[in-house]
């Protein structure tokens, strides 16, 4: 193997990708050797171009190829409701549902003293700036249901509630189509706590 340094380098690059082990990385690298030079060039260009073209929206920090992302640029969206998410890829998941017509704000992580992430490291200042300037009526906090996500949700909610703005949190409970039998204890506890009257 060490006799093919170019292949070794390529395998290393594939190994850096999420959930790719040595064996998978090897198979991926070999598959590139079966590509035509043109196909390999297309792949290489896709990587550099995605990196060069995709920036962050100046308003909400969503992925965007323009200064302002398509959600923020859309005149039809309700600017008075902002959904706060940890990561830009969460927006893509939420947009697939097609049931939210407000706008988003990507804070870029969660407060985590263990990892040295303080509120100042997140896009919270720009969120407060938007709230003060855009006539926001409701903030939906959609951080993940983890310890850090909950801490961050609580922090943001305490910051915003005194301004008289409605703050809500995504509902957590049984996944639709799931079975009680398979639900973990925390999920079940949340489902019980958040029960609705019929």
- Residue 161 to residue 123: CA distance in whole angstroms: 18
Q: Which is nearer to a copy of itself, 40 or 188 (CB)?
A: 40
Smallest separation, CB 161 to a copy of itself (Å): 33
Q: Which is nearer to a copy of itself, 6 or 133 (CB)?
A: 6
Smallest separation, CB 71 to a copy of itself (Å): 8
Q: Which is nearer to a copy of itself, 57 or 160 (CB)?
A: 57
Q: Which is nearer to a copy of itself, 30 or 134 (CB)?
A: 30
Smallest separation, CB 90 to a copy of itself (Å): 11
- The answer to whether the CB of 134 falls within 8 A of the CB of 76 is no
Q: Which is nearer to a copy of itself, 43 or 166 (CB)?
A: 43
User: Rule CB under 8 A: which residues touch a copy of itself?
Assistant: 1, 3-7, 9-10, 12-13, 16-20, 24, 26-33, 35, 37, 40-54, 63-65, 69-70, 89, 92, 95-96, 181
The strand pairing partners of 193, in sequence order, are none
Smallest separation, CB 107 to a copy of itself (Å): 16
Smallest separation, CB 44 to a copy of itself (Å): 4
Give Cα 106 distance to the centre of its chain: 7
């Amino acid at each position: 193997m060490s006799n093919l340094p170019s292949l070794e380098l390529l395998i290393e690059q594939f190994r850096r990708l999420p959930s790719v082990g040595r064996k998978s990385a090897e198979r991926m690298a070999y598959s590139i050797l079966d590509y035509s030079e043109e196909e390999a060039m297309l792949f290489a260009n896709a990587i550099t171009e995605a990196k060069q073209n995709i920036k962050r929206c100046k308003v909400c920090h969503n992925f965007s190829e323009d200064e302002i992302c398509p959600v923020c640029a859309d005149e039809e969206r309700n600017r008075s409701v902002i959904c706060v998410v940890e990561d830009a890829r969460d927006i893509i998941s939420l947009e697939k549902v097609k049931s939210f017509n407000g706008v988003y704000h990507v804070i870029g992580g969660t407060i985590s003293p263990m990892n040295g992430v303080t509120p100042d490291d997140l896009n919270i200042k720009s969120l407060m700036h938007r709230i003060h300037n855009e006539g926001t009526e409701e903030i939906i906090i959609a951080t993940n249901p983890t310890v850090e996500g909950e801490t961050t949700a609580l922090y943001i909610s305490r910051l915003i509630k005194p301004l008289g703005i409605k703050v809500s949190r995504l509902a957590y409970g049984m996944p639709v189509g799931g079975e009680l039998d398979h639900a973990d204890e925390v999920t079940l506890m949340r489902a019980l706590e958040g029960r609705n009257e019929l």
